[in-house]
C-alpha cells in the first residue's frame, strides 16, 4: 500500500496470487463464482473445524457474508427485535457497530467503556440495564482484544437480554461459547484477512440459517420466494479461495504477528509506567496496536509523523462525536458526564504500526519515540 | 456449474485465472485489496470510457459497489427522500428492486408492466402519478432489455419525479442519458460479469459521491467521521482486476452472445405466432432469454425438464406473491385487477438457456421443443 510514510501502520499479510491460483482454476472450471458455491461451502467447513481446534467452538454453525458489517446487520435483522428498540453499544468502537443497529431499524444507545480493557464491560451493561430496557447488547472486542465469552454468556442468561458480539478483529484469538453469537471480519486489514468478508458463528442454527437467507435477498426454501426482506451480502467464491489458503497459512501468519508483539513488549519496557497497554496484551495478539499515553496522543502522532512513521487513531473520535451519530441516546442518563473513560482515552490512544513486515529496527525506533514523548 | 441438466440455462463467461493473474500480482505488490485501491480507480476510469464509447454516456460519473442491490439501495439513501414515501416499481422484476426501497426506509408501490416490453412504461407510471404522490420511479430493464432513456428523461422533466433506473442486466446495451441515474450489475451471471459487483452511473456527481461515501460507512472528507449512516458495500480490488480483463474481452463476449441470439432468432422462425419474444429482441442482445408461450409455461418447463434442459422462471412469481412483499400497496387503486398484464405473463414466460457455451445443435433442439409445446 503506497503511502507517504517510511513505516506504514498496517500492511495486510495475504497469500501471493500463485498460492491462490489452484483454487481459482477450480472455481473457473466449476464456472461458479458466487451464490454459495463449492469453495464457499468448503471454506465454511474449514472455518468450523478451525474454530473448534483453535477457539473451543463446539456445536457452532458458521456462515460467511460480504463483510462483518453486513453479517452483524443481518444477524440483528434475523433476531427480529421490536422496531426501534434499544441496543447497547460502546462509544469507543469502529462506527459500523452503531451503523448496523440503525440500519436494522433499532436504536443504538451509547455506553462508556472500561478504563483497563477499553471495552464495554458486563458491569457497564448491567448499570445500563438498571436504567432502561434493552433488546440486545453488542460488546466489542476492541482492537482485537477477545471478550470474555463465559462472563457474557452468564450475563445473557441472568438478564435474558441477547448478547451479540462484535469481535470483528479477533478471529483466531476469540474463544467461542455456543450460547452466544459472534461476528468476525475477514477484511484485508484483519489478522485473518481475505480481502472483503465477514463471518457469523453461533450455536443458534436457526439464526445462522435466517441470516444467510437474508444475505441472499431473503429467499428461503426451493419455492424461490422472498420470506423476509433481505439484501445482497453474499460472500464470493474468490474470497473463499483466498480463505482456504489463509487457513493453511494461519500458524505462519500468527507466528509473524507474535514475533512483532514480543519485540514490542520488550522494546516498551524502557518507556516506564507513563504508557499503558490494553489489559491482557501479551495473553492475546491484538489486531492493531494502540498505546495509551495520557493526554499526549497528539504529541505522539506529531512526533511519529515527523519521523515518517504512520499512526492511526483507531475508533476515534468516540461515536457521540460523529455527525451522523451525535443524536443517539446515552446509556447513563443520571449524570452530565456519561463517558468519563472514553473522554480520557480519546486524548491518549494512538495506534502504532503493527504488521508482519516490521523489522526489529523499526520497532526499536518506534519504541524510542514513544519513550521520548511519554517522558 | 454442476447441475443435473444436460443443457444449463446460464453459464458465466468470465476470464480464465491466468488472464487475471498479472492484475492480481499488481494488487499483491500494492498490498491493497479493498477500499478504493488503484485497480478499482482504474476500472472505474475504463468503465467511464467504455460507457462513453459504447452507450453514448457523456458527462457521467461512475462508482462501483459490492453489488447492484447495494448500489441501488445506497443511491436511494443518498437521494434523501422523505421517510416512508412512495416509490413506483414494476411487479415483474427481480425482488431486489423492491427490497432496496424497503431497506432505504421507503414504500415500494407495485405497478403492472407493459404487455409488449414486459417493463414498467412511462404510460403506466403517468397513470400511477395521476392517482397518488411518488418520491421516485424505478423503471427496470427487464431481462436486460434496455429502457428508453430519452423517454424517461422527458418523464422526469415533465413530472419532477426523480427516475432511477434498475438496468442491472443491461450493461453494454443500455444507452445513457446524463439526466438520469442508472444501476448496473456485474454479477457473474450478467453479460458483463466479474463475480459480485454493481455500478452507479449518473451525471449527478454529488449523488455518485454521496453514494460512494455510504458504501464506506458514510465517512466523508479527511476528518474520518461519519456524516450520514452508511454500510460496507465497497467493491474489492479483485473484482476490479477481473473487470479490467472483461473490458478488454467485451467485443469477444458480446460476439458470442450475438451469435447465440442470431441462431435462436433463426430457430424460432419455425414456431410461428404462438410464441412471442420481448419487444425489440434482436435490436438488443438480452441478458437472459425468456419466451412467452401464453398459458403454456408449465408445459414448456416440464417438456424441457424431460429433455434434461434447464429453464428458469425469471422474475416469477410477480412481487405481490412473495410473502415478504404481499403487503405492499398497488399503484392502480381504481380496479380489482391491478395487474392484468403481469397475470397473463406469469402463465407464459419461460427463460430458455442463453449463454456462450450453447452449440447450434443445442439451440436447434430447444427451438424444436418450444415448437412442439407451442403447437
Average pLDDT over residues A259-274: 94
- In terms of domains, do A23 and A79 share one? yes
Nearest-angstrom CA–CA distance, B305 and B286: 23
| B186, B221, B226: best to mutate for the A interface, most A CBs within 10 A | B226
Residue A221 binned pLDDT confidence (cut-offs 50, 70, 90): confident
In a domain, A86, yes or no: yes
In a domain, A264, yes or no: yes
> What pLDDT tens digit does each residue of chain B (375 aa) get?
457 899 999 999 999 999 999 999 999 999 999 999 999 999 999 999 999 999 999 999 999 999 999 999 999 999 999 999 999 999 999 999 999 999 999 999 999 999 999 999 999 999 999 999 999 999 999 999 999 999 999 999 999 999 999 999 999 999 999 999 999 999 999 999 999 999 999 999 999 999 999 999 999 987 789 999 999 999 999 999 999 999 999 999 999 999 999 999 999 998 988 899 999 999 999 999 999 999 999 999 999 999 999 999 999 999 999 999 999 999 999 999 999 999 999 999 999 999 999 999 999 999 999 999 998
- In terms of domains, do A100 and A239 share one? yes
Given an 8 Å threshold on Cβ–Cβ distance, is A234 in contact with B96? no
- Give the sign of the dihedral formed by CA A43, CA A48, CA A52, CA A55: positive
Q: Mark which residues 57-116 of B lie under 8 Å from A by CB.
A: 66-70, 73, 95-96, 99-100, 102-103
Backbone angles phi, psi at B112, to 5 degrees: -70, 170
Nearest-angstrom CA–CA distance, B143 and B170: 8
- In terms of domains, do B262 and B316 share one? yes
How much is the mean pLDDT over chain A?
97
- In terms of domains, do A165 and A263 share one? no
Residues A129/A131/A136/A139 CA torsion (nearest 10 deg): -70
- In terms of domains, do B139 and B262 share one? no
- In terms of domains, do B225 and B277 share one? no
Quick check: A180 pLDDT over 70? yes
In a domain, B10, yes or no: no
CB atoms within 10 A of CB A290: 29
- In terms of domains, do B221 and B288 share one? no
Buried b (16+ CB within 10 A) or exposed e, A345-361: bbebbbbbbbbbebeee
Residue from A116, A144, A374 nearest A268 by CA: A374
- In terms of domains, do B30 and B102 share one? yes
> Between B17, B217, B322, which is nearest A24 by CB?
B17
Range of the domain at B258: 250-374
Domain boundary among the residues B244, B271, B303 is at B244
Q: Mark which residues 112-171 of A lie under 8 Å from B by CB.
A: none
**In chain A, which residues have their Cβ closer than 8 Å to the Cβ of B325?**
226
Quick check: A34 pLDDT over 90? yes
Contact (Cβ atoms closer than 8 angstroms) between residue A86 and residue A135: yes
Count Cβ–Cβ pairs < 8 Å, chain A vs chain B.
166
**In chain A, which residues have their Cβ closer than 8 Å to the Cβ of B26?**
none
In a domain, A1, yes or no: no
- In terms of domains, do B266 and B352 share one? yes
**CATH number, domain containing residue A359:** 3.90.1150.10
Q: Mark which residues 209-268 of A lie under 8 Å from B by CB.
A: 217-218, 224-234, 236-239
Residue B31 Cα, gap to closest chain A Cα (Å): 5
Q: Does B12 touch chain A (CB under 8 A)?
A: yes
- In terms of domains, do A238 and A270 share one? no
Domain boundary among the residues B229, B244, B259 is at B244
Average pLDDT over residues A28-35: 96
Q: What is the pLDDT of residue B84?
A: 98
Residue A57 binned pLDDT confidence (cut-offs 50, 70, 90): very high
Given an 8 Å threshold on Cβ–Cβ distance, is B231 in contact with A95? no
Contact (Cβ atoms closer than 8 angstroms) between residue A64 and residue A195: no
Q: What is the pLDDT of residue B273?
A: 85
In a domain, A5, yes or no: no
In a domain, B343, yes or no: yes
- Tally of domains in chain B: 2
Q: What is the pLDDT of residue A2?
A: 56
Backbone angles phi, psi at B226, to 5 degrees: -85, 120
Residue A154 Cα, gap to closest chain B Cα (Å): 31
ipTM exceeding cut-off 0.95 for this assembly: yes
Given an 8 Å threshold on Cβ–Cβ distance, is B324 in contact with A236? no
**CATH number, domain containing residue B34:** 3.40.640.10
Given an 8 Å threshold on Cβ–Cβ distance, is A225 in contact with B188? no
Residue from B45, B49, B64, B61 nearest B178 by CA: B61
Q: What does the pLDDT look like over A315-350, one tens digit per residue?
A: 999 999 999 999 999 999 999 999 999 999 999 999
Q: What's CA B142's distance to the chain center, in Å?
A: 7
Q: What is the pLDDT of residue A272?
A: 81
Between the CA of residue B37 and those of A233, B119, B235, what are the distances in Å? 21, 37, 10
Q: What does the pLDDT look like over A225-256, one tens digit per residue?
A: 999 999 999 999 999 999 999 999 999 999 99
Domain boundary among the residues B214, B244, B274 is at B244
Q: Could you tell me the end-to-end alpha-carbon distance of chain B, in angstroms, rounded to an integer?
A: 32
In a domain, A183, yes or no: yes
- In terms of domains, do B214 and B67 share one? yes
- In terms of domains, do B221 and B331 share one? no
**In chain B, which residues have their Cβ closer than 8 Å to the Cβ of A312?**
none
In a domain, A4, yes or no: no
Q: What is the pLDDT of residue B223?
A: 77
Amino acid at each position: 500500500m503506497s503511502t507517504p510514510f517510511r513505516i506504514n501502520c498496517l500492511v495486510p499479510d495475504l497469500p501471493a496470487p500463485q498460492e491462490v491460483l489452484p483454487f481459482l482454476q477450480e472455481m473457473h472450471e466449476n464456472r461458479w463464482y458466487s451464490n454459495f458455491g463449492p469453495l464457499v461451502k468448503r471454506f465454511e467447513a474449514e472455518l468450523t473445524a478451525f474454530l473448534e481446534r483453535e477457539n473451543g467452538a463446539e456445536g457452532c454453525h458458521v456462515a460467511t457474508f460480504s463483510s462483518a458489517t453486513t453479517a452483524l446487520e443481518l444477524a440483528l435483522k434475523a433476531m427480529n427485535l421490536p422496531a426501534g428498540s434499544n441496543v447497547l453499544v460502546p462509544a469507543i468502537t469502529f462506527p459500523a457497530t452503531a451503523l448496523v443497529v440503525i440500519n436494522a431499524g433499532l436504536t443504538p444507545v451509547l455506553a462508556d467503556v472500561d478504563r483497563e480493557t477499553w471495552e464495554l464491560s458486563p458491569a457497564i451493561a448491567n448499570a445500563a440495564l438498571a436504567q432502561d430496557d434493552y433488546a440486545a447488547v453488542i460488546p466489542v472486542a476492541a482492537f482485537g482484544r477477545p471478550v470474555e465469552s463465559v462472563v457474557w454468556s452468564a450475563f445473557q442468561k441472568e438478564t435474558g437480554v441477547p448478547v451479540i458480539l462484535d469481535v470483528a478483529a479477533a478471529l483466531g484469538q476469540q474463544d467461542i461459547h455456543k450460547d452466544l453469537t459472534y461476528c468476525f471480519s475477514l477484511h484485508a486489514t484483519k489478522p485473518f484477512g481475505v480481502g472483503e468478508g465477514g463471518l457469523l458463528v453461533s450455536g443458534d442454527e436457526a439464526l445462522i440459517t435466517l441470516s444467510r437467507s437474508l444475505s441472499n435477498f431473503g429467499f428461503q426454501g426451493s419455492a424461490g420466494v422472498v420470506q423476509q426482506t433481505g439484501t445482497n451480502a453474499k460472500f464470493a467464491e474468490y474470497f473463499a479461495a483466498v480463505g482456504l489458503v489463509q487457513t493453511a497459512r494461519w500458524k505462519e501468519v500468527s507466528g509473524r504477528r507474535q514475533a512483532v508483539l514480543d519485540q514490542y513488549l520488550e522494546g516498551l519496557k524502557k518507556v516506564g509506567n507513563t504508557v499503558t497497554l490494553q489489559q491482557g496484551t501479551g495473553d492475546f495478539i491484538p489486531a492493531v496496536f494502540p498505546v495509551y499515553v495520557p493526554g499526549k496522543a497528539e504529541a505522539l502522532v506529531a512526533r511519529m509523523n515527523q519521523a515518517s512513521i504512520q499512526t492511526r487513531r483507531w475508533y476515534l473520535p468516540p461515536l457521540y462525536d460523529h455527525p451522523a451519530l451525535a443524536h443517539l441516546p446515552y446509556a447513563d442518563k443520571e449524570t452530565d458526564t456519561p463517558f468519563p473513560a472514553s473522554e480520557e482515552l480519546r486524548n491518549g490512544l494512538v495506534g502504532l504500526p503493527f504488521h508482519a513486515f516490521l523489522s526489529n529496527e523499526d520497532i526499536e525506533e518506534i519504541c524510542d519515540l514513544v519513550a521520548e514523548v511519554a517522558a
